[in-house]
Amino acid sequence: SRRQTYTANMYTMLATSIILVSFANVVFTAVAIGPPSVHPDYPGKCYDTKTKIAHSPGEIFTIPKCTRVTCNHDLSFDYATCGVVGTAPPCYVVDGDLSLPYPMCCPDVKCN
- Around Cβ 71, how many Cβ atoms within 10 Å? 22
Per-domain boundaries in the chain: 1-26+85-112, 29-82
- Buried-exposed string 88-99: b where 16+ CB fall within 10 A, e elsewhere: eeebeeeebeee
Domain boundaries 29-82, CATH class: mainly beta
31-56 confidence digits (pLDDT tens): 888 888 889 999 999 999 988 999 99
Q: Give me the percent of the chain exceeding a pLDDT of 90.
A: 51
* Element (DSSP H or E) covering residue 8: helix 2-24
